[in-house]
Amino acid sequence: MLVDNPPQGFLRIDFDRGLPDPTFNSHVGPLYAKRGEKGTADEFVLGFRVRPHMCNPAGGLHGGMMMTVADLVGTMGAGTLAGIRKFLPTVNMTFDFVAPAKVGDWVEGRAELVRVTRSLIFSTIYLTVGEEKILRASAIAKIPSGEGPAFGKARLERTPA
Amino acid sequence: MSNVPPDFRELTEATGFAAANGPWFEKIENGRAIRGFRPGPQHANALGIVHGGMLAAFLDSAMGTAVWHVLKRRAVTIRLSIDYLGPGRLGEWLQAEGEVVGHDEHMAQVRGRLYGPRHDVLASVGSFALLSRHRTVNVRS
């Protein structure tokens, strides 16, 4: 049994509070988040330990898993940095797969806001293993007008992972 | 498997991420590979539509398969740009396919499309690095 053993400060994200079935984010996970000091690169960090069910036939982290996590960083993460707690639909993402990752690696994802308009958030996203970048993504997410649904029911579990 | 359109076969050789998020299906039509799947609750996001990451993963797989069918070369994705045009709905049969629009000895450019019964869901363009003809993909257990 693989234990995720997340680094200090990471809490598991519970995406499905009150939902009858686990949704995709739970199905591919578990995923963790860390909240750091406002204005720093660590203000919002997504993290996960690479497990076999996230991998491709060659035994490396599947590109689909990288894109899934980058998509979350570009919506939930960039939205958090912009102070928006709505569900932000993705409009475009461009992914560059710069390096592989393997089972057991701890992967982190961070967003950098490029520009926030009334209706769009432009961000740059990196997934990293330690100091090494494994994925660069450029994301555009839409900010829905009006109230819109909140970002699901995702909450950070306060119990230790 | 019921609920699968005719001529599609299940990709039973899937492992890891593809197996965990399947079943995925494929048919070959006029030399083109078309992939399909029917999303369920495990593919949903918080809005109850198919998660963008799942759609991206599925389209990527169909585009990589197109390279294999046209060029007979294994390929890895280097860059993928995806426009999200409309929602993928749970329970609807979704299909994805790729078209190789250009290539040289090292790279292939592929246009991709993912669509439901009535509307386009994703449009994309990608660059794939072609692996050496002599290299076998090292499959770890």
Tens of pLDDT, residues B71-128: 999 999 999 999 999 999 999 999 999 999 999 999 999 999 999 999 999 999 999 9
Tell me which amino acid residue A150 is: A
- Token pair of B32, please? 């083109």
Between B44 and A22, the more confident residue is B44
Per-position DSSP letters for chain A, written without gaps between them: -----PPTT-EEEE--TT-SS--HHHHH---EEEE--TTSTTSEEEEEE--GGGB-TTSBBPHHHHHHHHHHIIIIIHHHHTT--B---EEEEEEEE----BTT-EEEEEEEEEEE-SSEEEEEEEEEETTEEEEEEEEEEE--SSS--BSTT-EE--S--
Task: Please state the rounded mean pLDDT for residues A54-73.
Answer: 94
Domain ranges of chain B: 9-130
pLDDT, tens digit, 9 for 90 and up, residues A88-107: 999 999 999 999 999 999 99
Is the CATH number 3.10.129.10 carried by domain B9-130? yes
| Cβ-defined contact of A59 to B54 (cutoff 8 Å) | no
* pLDDT (0 to 100) of residue A58: 86
pLDDT at B141 over 70: no
d(CA B75, CA B69): 11
A143 interface with B at CB cutoff 8 Å: no
Interface test with chain A among B17, B37, B140, B141, by most A beta carbons within 10 Å: B17
Please tell me the class of the A11-156 domain.
Answer: alpha beta
d(CA A108, CA A71): 13
Between A135 and B136, the more confident residue is A135
pTM, two decimal places: 0.90
Quote the minimal CA–CA distance from A92 to chain B in Å: 5
* pLDDT (0 to 100) of residue B14: 82
The confidence band for B1, taking pLDDT boundaries of 50, 70 and 90, is: very low
Residue with tokens 């869901």: B121
Task: Pick the closest to residue B86 from B62, B42, B116, B48 (CA basis).
Answer: B116
Put simply, the chain A residues between 66 and 85 with a CB less than 8 A from any chain B CB are 67-72
List the single residue in A23, A53, A90 with the smallest CB-CB distance to B52: A90
| Cβ-defined contact of B139 to A59 (cutoff 8 Å) | yes
User: Alpha-carbon torsion A7, A9, A10, A11, what sign?
Assistant: positive
| Residue B126 burial (C-beta neighbours within 10 Å; 0-12, 13-18, 19+) | buried
The confidence band for A151, taking pLDDT boundaries of 50, 70 and 90, is: low
| Cβ-defined contact of A27 to B43 (cutoff 8 Å) | yes
Q: Which residues of chain B make contact with A137, given a CB cutoff of 8 A?
A: none
d(CA B41, CA B49): 9
pLDDT at A161 over 50: no
Task: Pick the closest to residue A47 from A77, A17, A18, A22 (CA basis).
Answer: A77
Between A152 and A81, the more confident residue is A81
* pLDDT (0 to 100) of residue A86: 86
The confidence band for B22, taking pLDDT boundaries of 50, 70 and 90, is: confident
- Token pair of A24, please? 């995709």
* pLDDT (0 to 100) of residue A57: 86
* pLDDT (0 to 100) of residue B140: 45
pLDDT, tens digit, 9 for 90 and up, residues A10-57: 999 988 877 778 889 888 989 999 998 888 888 999 999 999 999 998
| Cβ-defined contact of B52 to A93 (cutoff 8 Å) | yes
List the single residue in B54, B77, B139 with the smallest CB-CB distance to A68: B54
